[in-house]
A and B are shown apart, each in its own frame.
Chain A
Amino acid sequence: MKEFNNRNIGQISYIKVSETQFPTTPWGEFKQVFKRSIKGELLGGLKITFIMMKEALFNKQMHTVQYPAEKLPIGPRYRAVHKLLALLESGQDRCIGCCLCEKICIADCIRMDTKVDENSRKEVLDFSINFGRCIFCGYCAEVCPELAIVHGERYENASEQRAHFVLKDDMLTPLDKLKAQVEYEGFGAVSPDADERVKKTPLLY
């Protein structure tokens, strides 16, 4: 613990060269030059780069990721463009129109219109997130009671027009890809130990 508390980081691992090591006489200077010339430290530098090349070419130590073709995995808590999930059985939106996300959104970029339909359920008429304003804070995914709005893994969100940033159809899982929809593990999802953490409502006793 002591080494973590020491804040003078710069003074720890440096080797201090004392002034007395510098040669003072011309003969001393000559000896130093001669010693350094014989030492072959330049060859040591060549060796390092050669080993690097060998490791990169034959030992799969290449660092380059060829980006559009290969992508690095993103962290599960990364907050990229939102996804709206659907119910697997019926293919309907999971959204129950509670408008909590609209209320909690601190950038004021979520907008939804709802009405009560003939089955006296709430129906979502219009839903949009303005990604031009969204700050990707993740509150909407966290507050959603139905896991309907989550953060996906699409982080490449460039477009030519601002209007492209509000389309709901791009965010909703398309119906033909419903089978491929995976329950979201990332930001705003139910925690893995959620079942153990369920408590009885205090009002009951």
Chain B
Amino acid sequence: MEAIIIETIIKVMIVLGVFSALAGFTTYIERKVLAFMQRRLGPMNVGPYGLLQVLADGIKLFTKEDVIPSNAVKPIFMIAPIITAATAFIAMSAIPFFPEFELFGYTVRPIIADINVGVLFVMGVASVGLYGPLLAGMSSSNKWGLLGGARTAIQLLSYEVVSGLALLAPLMLVGSLSLIDLNNYQNDGIFSWMVFTQPLAFLLFVIAGFAETNRTPFDLLEHEAELVAGYATEYSGMRWGMFFIGEYANLFTICFLISLIFLGGFNAWGFIPGGLAIILKVMCLIFFFLWTRASWPHIRPDQLMWLCWKVLMPLAVLNILVTGFVVMIGL
């Protein structure tokens, strides 16, 4: 019993440490990729090729004054960023990052809690994370913040339907909500990947993922051109930094989810071992997320709702229907 507790605590520490650091490093990668796509150099001066820019930004964030506006609802204003950051990391607890491996003769399973409703748990906790921007926007007594919070609500209602319905079809094929079962379903080489049997669900889930992580085409919450900084207008210092870390941790969660459910997960891929394969997939997905940020324009909130309710949801329902018939005939 104690061994499990110690093991879990170690895993939690590793996940927290690695993904906090990765969140910081992803900001550097994002700035570099965006710069290259606009034919700029990006951060260059702090450290070799600007690698220590993350450190400089971190020092700046930690030492900045934490301003709380006098009209803000203080307890909610203070707790909102913690909700975003905490739920982003809680969602990671049900994700199997790597295949099992042996360390000093001890079998390590790189998942903090192997619960049998993994997908449901991850999606649920990730949606709870949207309470962060919502409460932050409503408590900060700022018009931009309030608009950002309102947009959080409509965005949550819109994409959550799509992502849930899109996931239903693969889950019908596998018959399990556990992410490990979903992964093991695709262990038959590249053509057993879910993306080939469920291409539409893959597309819908990726689009919903963009909305869930507030990435650019659906970057409504803190749309700089319209809403100064949206829900984060009044935030400064480490509270703002926690929103940021939460956002990037969410990005990693979604990328891991997409590669686990649709892209073959951590199954060995030809000569590439499983652990490396999933890292490659996640890296490609993150590059895709940055690439779209450099290429595509934002959309308006009403366009997001139109897209989610009138286009993507019917498509998802249609997909479920077709999958259902195929499963029935197959049985």
Contacts and interface: CB of A to CB of B under 8 A. Distances in A.
Interface of A: 33, 37, 42, 45-46, 48-50, 52-53, 55-57, 61-64, 66
Contact of A63 (B40, B44, B295): B40
Given A33-B311, A45-B295, A55 B44 contact: no
A69 B168 CA distance: 57
B37 A52 contact: yes
A64 B296 contact: no
Interface string B272-313: 000000000000000000011011100000000000000100
B76 interface: no
Nearest to A57: B36
A62 B40 contact: yes
29 contacts: A33-B311, A37-B311, A42-B295, A45-B295, A46-B291, A46-B295, A49-B37, A49-B294, A50-B291, A52-B38, A52-B39, A53-B33, A53-B36, A53-B37, A55-B39, A56-B36, A56-B37, A56-B39, A56-B40, A57-B36, A61-B39, A62-B39, A62-B40, A62-B41, A63-B39, A64-B39, A64-B40, A64-B44, A66-B41
Interface string B7-45: 000000000000000000000000001001111110010
A90 to B, nearest CB: 46
A166 to B, nearest CB: 34
Contacts of B44: 64, 66
Among A45, A55, A57, A61, chain B packs the most CB atoms within 10 A around the CB of: A45
Given A33-B311, A66-B44, A46 B39 contact: no
Contact residues on B (Cβ < 8 Å of other chain), bracket: 10 to 19
Q: Which 9 A-B residue pairs are closest in the complex by CB-CB distance?
A: A64-B41, A56-B39, A45-B295, A49-B37, A49-B295, A53-B36, A53-B37, A49-B294, A63-B39
Contacts of B39: 52, 55-56, 61-64
Main SS of chain B's interface residues?
A: helix
B283 to A, nearest CB: 16
Interface of B: 33, 36-41, 44, 291-292, 294-296, 311
Among B33, B39, B41, chain A packs the most CB atoms within 10 A around the CB of: B39
Main SS of chain A's interface residues?
A: helix
A56 B40 CA distance: 8
Contacts of B41: 62, 64, 66
Contacts of A55: 39
A59 B36 CA distance: 12
B30 to A, nearest CB: 13
Among A45, A46, A49, A57, chain B packs the most CB atoms within 10 A around the CB of: A49
A42 B36 contact: no
Contacts of A37: 311
A149 B23 CA distance: 58
Given A49-B294, A62-B40, A62-B41, 6 more contacts: A46-B292, A46-B296, A52-B37, A56-B36, A56-B40, A64-B44
A30 to B, nearest CB: 10
Contacts of A57: 36
Nearest to A33: B311
A51 to B, nearest CB: 10
Contacts of B296: 42, 45-46
Nearest to B311: A33
A23 B44 CA distance: 50
Contacts of A49: 37, 291, 294-295
B281 to A, nearest CB: 18
A64 B41 CA distance: 6
B36 to A, nearest CB: 5
A41 to B, nearest CB: 10
B49 to A, nearest CB: 12
A189 B177 CA distance: 82
Among B37, B41, B44, chain A packs the most CB atoms within 10 A around the CB of: B37
A48 to B, nearest CB: 7
Contacts of B294: 49
Nearest to B297: A45
A205 B31 CA distance: 75
Contacts of A33: 311
